[in-house]
Amino acid sequence: MVIVLDKNIRNEDKQRIKTFLEKNSLRVNEITGEEDTIFAAVGKVGIDPRDVEILPGVHSVIPITKAYKMASREFKKDNTVVNIRGVKIGGNRVTVIAGPCAVENREQIMESAARVAESGAVMLRGGAYKPRTSPYAFQGLGAEGVRFLREAGDAWGLPVACEIVSAEHIPEMLDYIDVYQIGARNMQNFELLKKVGALGKPVILKRGLSATIEEWLMAAEYLLSSGTEDVILCERGIRTYEKATRNTLDLSAIPVLRSLTHLPIIVDPSHAVGIRDKVPPMCLAAVAAGADGLIVEVHPTPDTALSDGAQSLYPVQFEKMMRDIEVLAPVVGREVSHRSIPRAGSIRGTTSITRKSGGTDTPLVCAYSGGRGAYAEQAIHRYYDDEAEALPLNNFREVIRAVLDGRAECGMLPIENSLAGSVYENYDNLARYDDIEIVGEATIRIEHSLLAVKGATLDTITSVYSHSQGLAQCDEFLARYPNWKHIETNSTSSAAKLVESEKDPTRAAIASDLAAPIYHLETLKAGIENSPRNYTRFVLIARTGEIICEAPNHASIIFTVANQPGALHSALGLFMKNGLNLTKLESRPIQGEPWRYVFYANMSLPEGVSSSVVAGERIRNALAEMQKMNQDAGVIQGVRILGIYSVKEIS
């Protein structure tokens, strides 16, 4: 059973409840969540749940009907996200683990780590103890292989996963391995499961060769009940009568498991099909089916591999596969996890946020979409008083990826314009990428000019280039010239660059007047926006947890509500109840769920209240109540904090 404790429970009441459960032969695991603390009582239940419910400090008792308790969806409604040294498996991500089947020598594993890291893997795999069908086959390097694996992982910033085949190997692996892997042959080695679970480290549990899904989840229960909270299920193919592939990859297990368990699910196509050229399509199929990640065998020279060379990808194959996954993931509403490359230094030019890691030896790098002279670049320089390095990129998604992989500490994204409205692409990006958060906000005035090459006039112009927002913000001016052709570009600065490169007096760009000298253009007309009160609101994003906001007074969240009368009203009422001003409410369709919507909400303290302590407390209280409504009644669903931050006004 699951015992939900009162939020303000006294320590003596908590201990009394625990003692009562243990006296009744129940093993008790205490799990502290963001909102609730629960006792998971595991064992043969011989007591009436009502006897527990009346104990002081007990909020509620939830009986679990499944044979597997802690692994069940009844135990935990929300999907578990396993965090392994900053690499997250679960949620909205596709996390790729790659490396050779076996560690053969130091040079081989170092080269393997380099190749998979450069192609996009975020975790390194490699076997040191190999359970082989033949006693004469390569059995692995043992403890030496574990040390080589750790060295290679550290060299490329990759956590490492390694299979454990016997409890006697724990001392040799304990200080080196981030994730223990239980292989298919050991899925029901219950004594091994109990000992590995007791370590409290993350575990990848592979499905047995002929195991049912329920047997698989019962094996996960052994790990969870023994002490670890982080179990990752891995589908690696099951044995059937079919001989065309090594095993039969059961992709239907992914949606079935999703309804039964909160645990993350990854897929190992390498062992499933056993044929190199069949692995990439099965990886793509697994992502489409909803897998949280992949574990793939990659070897620098598969033809000389000492283990499973026939199913190991060449590095060039893995690189192409990763590019294909990057294309597919957004189609199914997912993001691909990226390796973070830490940079030294600290944020300068603002007192509102600071790097979590500290240091002052390098300038902050802030990415933006566009080229020199873009409005986002102006926002960066004004926000940081010209003390940040602006990194120009081609589009908004590249900005996010630069933040995720460490090329930039933060990014500046436009979110709303006072004339043209919301930048919906970035609202969708904020929902899609779980590993970024809003850490700041800035609003700047937008003044558009019509730029062209020397010698051009309003009479010579036939085509106008700009970002869609720039064209929309100047549509009244453009309406005076109905014969002009309007052509969209990635940014206003790219429009100016294109006009400069063409040297054509029939073309003009709508961009900032500051872009004119940069691209050697002349201003044909300034101030062509529909209204002088034209402002764009930018959000500053960073990788989650890496930048601290010292004085927050605003927050952004996303949530969904149940399809029932008054659900949205109940959600919005929590802002008023906690003294918060709802400054924006936006809805966007949910991909794959017709006529369902996710709501974006911005909130702030009302005028006259400036304390950041009060702001943080009120915001967190409102979000805690939303989470509770989600758990208790399901009225509010899928609440996620996009950021708690401060707003910086820029003239």
Query: Which residues, other chains included, contact 389 with Cβ-Cβ below 8 Å and sequence gap of 6+?
Result: 363, 364, 365, 366
User: Which residues does residue 233 pair with via DSSP β-bridges, in sequence order?
Assistant: 205, 265
- Tell me the residue length of the chain: 651
How many Å is the Cα radius of gyration of the chain? 28
349: left (phi over 0), alpha (psi -120 to 50) or beta: left
601-637 core/surface letters (b: 16 or more CB in 10 A; e: else) = bbbbbeeeeeebeebbebbbebbbbbbbbbeeeebbb
Q: Are 577 and 603 in contact (CB under 8 A)?
A: no
- Amino acid identity of residue 338, one-letter, is H
C-alpha to C-alpha distance for 82 and 61, rounded to whole angstroms: 26
Signed CA dihedral, 609, 610, 612, 616: sign only = positive
Give the H or E element holding residue 146.
Answer: helix 143-155
193-232 core/surface letters (b: 16 or more CB in 10 A; e: else) = bebbbebebbbbbbbbeebebeebbbbbbbbbbbbbebbb
* Residues designated as active site: 536, 538
297: left (phi over 0), alpha (psi -120 to 50) or beta: beta
Could you count the other beta carbons within 10 Å of the beta carbon of residue 355?
Answer: 20
* Inter-axis angle of helices 612-632 and 567-577, nearest 10: 150
C-alpha to C-alpha distance for 584 and 351, rounded to whole angstroms: 26
